[in-house]
Structure 1
Amino acid sequence: MNEDREFIETLKSEREIAKVIMRYARGSDRKDFDLMRSAYHEDAIDNHGPFNGPVKTYFEWADQHHERYDMLMHIMGNPHIEVEKDVAFAETYCLLLQRMKAERTYNSEVALHITIACRYVDRFEKRDGVWKIAVRNVVYEWVKKEWVSEEVAREGLAGSKLAFGKRSKDDMVYRVRDGQRS
């Protein structure tokens, strides 16, 4: 009976940790810093490569860094999570798609599209019954950059009724959660 209880508690912890990982990604994609912040303990450390330091300072850096992007999308792989009592280790593969704000060149506008393959290597801690990130390290595997003209980026979409993502709480995901249909 005790083994079953431990197994269920481990599954519950793994699920809670996976939800924290996904919550961070949604917050980043929608530029919702409160949602991102909710994934971390207040004294957490974040090593994003260009930034390495306390999570409080990370959000000052992220606020400026995120201004450069029109679009951000994390495509997350299944996290590998190892739970050891109130500490857990997670490795999550990620493809990060970024679209920089368009720049005017000669007679057209172009945007830089960046694809980053990386892994989030995290240490989670359960404090007061809540799992959050205590230490995050972003491990970069490769980066691809390509310039795309605005005409190519939106070709065939002008005048369409497609819903485009927004990097704000005006995005469809927030509207649907609030009971709106679209």
Structure 2
Amino acid sequence: MLKHNLVKEIIITEEQIQKRVTELAKEIETYYQNIEKPLILIGILRGCLPFFADVMMKLNIECTTEFMYVESYLGQTSPTIEPRIKFDIFADIKDRDVLIVEDIIDSGKTLIKLVEHLTQKQPKSIKILTLLDKKAKRIVDLEADWFGFEAPDHFLVGYGLDYQEILRNLPYIGIADLEKIKALKNKS
């Protein structure tokens, strides 16, 4: 596997991701095996897309899909504003089981806001699935119900994670080389 020149180090390979996605899908379908209505998967755009698609395709239970978009980074490497919901779900989730699918939990502020917002819609349950759990950055009392990997305290890219909308398409997760990225950005 070739490492992108803007990545310092690959920390989770494509193979490791796919193996863990398969394990998570089995855990989730076991947990929800007796629900009466299809599970509602709510993806948090944009970073969740590869993870969301891979998990969804491996689930052997009925599910529907919804998406939300929350803004908090404004092109920076750490949250710069209070999370704002820019795009909400369309489905009625009252009395339904909901699984929020996220790429990474950092501070937890975004997910707290989403859970509070979705709770007002009176779902039967809300659970959280995240690919990466960066506990070192957590500032709120929030835990994922399922997570793929514990994330180190570095700026990560790949498999949906981006730096100003680039590097999302890498099939692995790596530590961004912010010095090279900034030098490249200064040249343009």
Q: Give me the TM-score of the superposition, normalised by structure 2.
A: 0.23
Higher strand share: 1
Q: Give me the TM-score of the superposition, normalised by structure 1.
A: 0.24
Kindly indicate whether structure 1 or structure 2 has the higher relative contact order, using CA contacts under 8 Å at least 6 residues apart. Answer: 2
